Chain A
Amino acid sequence: MFAYVVKRLISGVLVVTLVSMGIFLLFWFGPSSPAQPICDRETSNRCGDRIEIYEETLGYNNPVYEEYGKFVQGVFVGRTLTIASSEYECPAPCLGVSYRTKQPVKEELVSRMPATFSVAIGGAFLYLLFGVPIGVAAARRRGTVADKALVSSFLFISSIPYYLFALLTWLYLTITFEVPLFSDTGYFSIGENGPFKWFSGLFLAWVALGIFGCTQYTRFTRGAMVEALSEDYIRTAKAKGLPARKIVYKHGLRAALVPVVTIFGIDFGTLLAGTIFTERIFEIQGIGWWALEAVQGKDLPVVMATALFSAVVLIISNLLVDVVYSVLDPRVRLS
């Protein structure tokens, strides 16, 4: 197991390296100069020939491997960056300095983590809390009118694109009906604003994520549960004289949880890496929104940092899924 984890971590580092190289190359050989936006901003759109200065100081005139080397070096020992005539300190681990704010990217990444993590944990908690039990209940009533109504209505909800669903939630609950609890969405840190403000700011985002995820997890759980309950070992459990509760939960759900946990691991990793739609619609200053702004503003260091962050989160969550899987299913041995 330990050797397996080490092996997976090594391959994870390799993946992160490749991702960073890919993004570097994309910007380097892209159709417009990465220095153009920063030049425009600092010269009030009279950049003109001054683009040369920016390209030179940002290193875009050097060979790409040399600049990539400097980037990697910065990650481990930190570096000093020059943009036009100003110098910026960037201590290790340096992921660069934002072209917009001129602040080290790593610091902003860390400061935005609580918002994104709050959204992800709250949303995932809600959809698991409702999705799994509803799925189990539907599987136990398989084929009844209640089951069919539930499955088709949930299928309908999950067929709506998520951004539309989230937008409608916000439009109706915050704007049209002005529900007091949902009136001021956004991320407010507990330390500065108290837990209620934190809670009410995020609650609508959680509800949107929760309802949408719940429809999916209900269907996953129902499917896995229907399959588990038709297995021979369920008949064995019944033949032993076990009560229905034990048959369904101890024998049925235990087996049905394995595929659900697998999907959840990947899903939750994706949420932790930043939820672009949720954060943008509910005005939560998290990593997802930040990444969106960075792409729009061609802020290379920020794009790089957010992409690397999601790569790292996904690699770790994949690894965790595999480890948890081997714990849940004794037939699986990691090697």
Chain B
Amino acid sequence: MTSVPVTQSSAAAAASETDGPFLQVEDLMVTFPTEDGPVTAVQGLSYSVEKGKTLGIVGESGSGKSVSSMAVMGLHDAKSAKISGSIRVGGTEVVGLSESRMRGLRGNSMAMIFQDALAALHPFYKIGAQLEEAYLVHHSSASKRDARRKAIEMLDRVGIPQPDRRVDDFPHQFSGGMRQRAMIAMGLINDPSLLIADEPTTALDVTVQAQILDLLQDLQREFNSAVIIITHDLGVIAEMADDVLVMYAGRCVEFGTTKEILTTPEMPYTWGLLSSVPDVSSSTDARLIPIPGNPPSLLRPPSGCSFHPRCVHSTKVPGDLCTTQLPELLPASSGTAHLKRCHLADPVAVYQTEVLPEIAPELLEETR
């Protein structure tokens, strides 16, 4: 993770040309003041994504994965969210950036696609009009006809049949998969260098999910954009991501390449996520192993490691370290850029002897 020099505006253009990561988030903290006190939805979050690479962010609802991405896009209401730390998009610091300059980036050099495209597209405007609007807002010199041509071209590119006719349809006249395709077309219409996909396949059935993921991968290769894919589906991660960031209670608890996270995870929460994935090849009697307990309240987060109330392995840590002290995000024992936030002294051994036999005994055979 190389750091990009930041001297704001003048360096912005030059910095985007450098080879550094396109998106660099450092020590991000997002807090929402509420009547019951401040809720810290994200804290101490750092990551970076290079062009052409895909970062997967996993975690359960309320873990801060969407909140952190919305902070990158500047979609939080300044009145209701306090954001600190640093977010650099193509060399431009966006934390504290004026709304008008932020608007120039949004939808232009970075775009976001949302889950449930039926709700995320405006029900009263034609698909074409919504795409044209996204194009025209960043191409003020373009004519309405250019925008329409571009909209049809994008719909064609994302695999909508007869795009020159479907461009005049309303969102409700599209199927679920087509709506998500249109949403992707809208996100990519200005060739963004960063695309954030927030659970892009959640509302879709499985065959359509696969098509959408394939499409995203194709488009990424074509546009060479940096992609963040937010999901709670490890299957999506396995297919799409180069790196994986596991979030729990607003913090990064494990980071590594997809291979490292899926084969040698070192944090009990990640083990829990892996254990709760159904396996097609296992017998139909096999039970899924859920993570016990509920996600923690962000209003009154647990002391020490946020995961300790639900962690079955905390007894292996000497003393009351887990309940009193927040573990640092430190290099893991395997892998190069692999980081984990856990007090366990020898997580690899625990994983091999206790977790793996439960979830994938056949893998255990191979590794021996």
Q: Is B335 an interface residue (CB 8 A)?
A: no
Which residues in B have their C-beta under 8 angstroms from that of A197? none
In the assembled complex, the Cα of A235 lies from the Cα of B69 at a distance in Å of 13
Which residues in A have their C-beta under 8 angstroms from that of B108? 241
A241 and B138 contacting across the interface, CB-CB below 8 Å: yes
B137 and A236 contacting across the interface, CB-CB below 8 Å: no
Q: B139 to chain A: closest CB distance in Å?
A: 11
In the assembled complex, the Cα of A276 lies from the Cα of B319 at a distance in Å of 82
In the assembled complex, the Cα of A206 lies from the Cα of B170 at a distance in Å of 40
Q: Is A56 an interface residue (CB 8 A)?
A: no
Interface residues of B in 109-127 (CB under 8 A from A): 111-112, 114, 116, 119-124
A233 and B134 contacting across the interface, CB-CB below 8 Å: no
Q: A104 to chain B: closest CB distance in Å?
A: 48
Q: With A232-B116, A330-B170 in contact, is A238–B106 under 8 Å at CB?
A: yes
Q: Is B172 an interface residue (CB 8 A)?
A: yes
A232's partner among B99, B120, B137, B172 (CB-CB below 8 A) is B120
**A224-268 Cβ-contact flags toward B at 8 Å (1 or 0):** 000000011101111111111010000100110000000000000
Q: With A232-B119, A235-B114, A330-B170 in contact, is A241–B103 under 8 Å at CB?
A: yes
Which residues in A have their C-beta under 8 angstroms from that of B120? 232-233, 235-236
A330's partner among B105, B124, B137, B183 (CB-CB below 8 A) is B124
Interface residues of A in 279-335 (CB under 8 A from B): 328-331
Interface residues of B in 122-148 (CB under 8 A from A): 122-124, 133-134, 137-138
Q: Is B104 an interface residue (CB 8 A)?
A: yes
Q: With A232-B116, A330-B170, A331-B172 in contact, is A242–B137 under 8 Å at CB?
A: yes
Q: A300 to chain B: closest CB distance in Å?
A: 49
Which residues in B have their C-beta under 8 angstroms from that of A330? 123-124, 170, 172
In the assembled complex, the Cα of A330 lies from the Cα of B125 at a distance in Å of 8
Q: Is the interface of B mostly helix, strand, loop or mixed?
A: mixed
Q: A251 to chain B: closest CB distance in Å?
A: 6
A235 and B104 contacting across the interface, CB-CB below 8 Å: no
A233's partner among B106, B121, B172 (CB-CB below 8 A) is B121
In the assembled complex, the Cα of A244 lies from the Cα of B106 at a distance in Å of 13
B114 and A236 contacting across the interface, CB-CB below 8 Å: yes
Interface residues of B in 22-50 (CB under 8 A from A): none
Q: B231 to chain A: closest CB distance in Å?
A: 18
A241 and B104 contacting across the interface, CB-CB below 8 Å: yes
Q: A272 to chain B: closest CB distance in Å?
A: 28
A251 and B122 contacting across the interface, CB-CB below 8 Å: yes
Q: Is B107 an interface residue (CB 8 A)?
A: yes
Q: Is B11 an interface residue (CB 8 A)?
A: no
B170 and A331 contacting across the interface, CB-CB below 8 Å: yes
A255 and B122 contacting across the interface, CB-CB below 8 Å: yes
A240 and B186 contacting across the interface, CB-CB below 8 Å: yes
Interface residues of chain A, those whose CB is within 8 Å of chain B, are 231-233, 235-244, 246, 251, 254-255, 328-331
Apart from A233-B119, A235-B120, 10 more pairs, CB < 8 Å: A232-B116, A233-B122, A236-B114, A240-B107, A240-B134, A241-B104, A241-B134, A241-B137, A244-B99, A251-B122
Shortest beta-carbon contacts, A-B, top 10? A241-B107, A241-B106, A232-B119, A240-B107, A233-B122, A232-B120, A240-B134, A330-B170, A239-B112, A236-B120
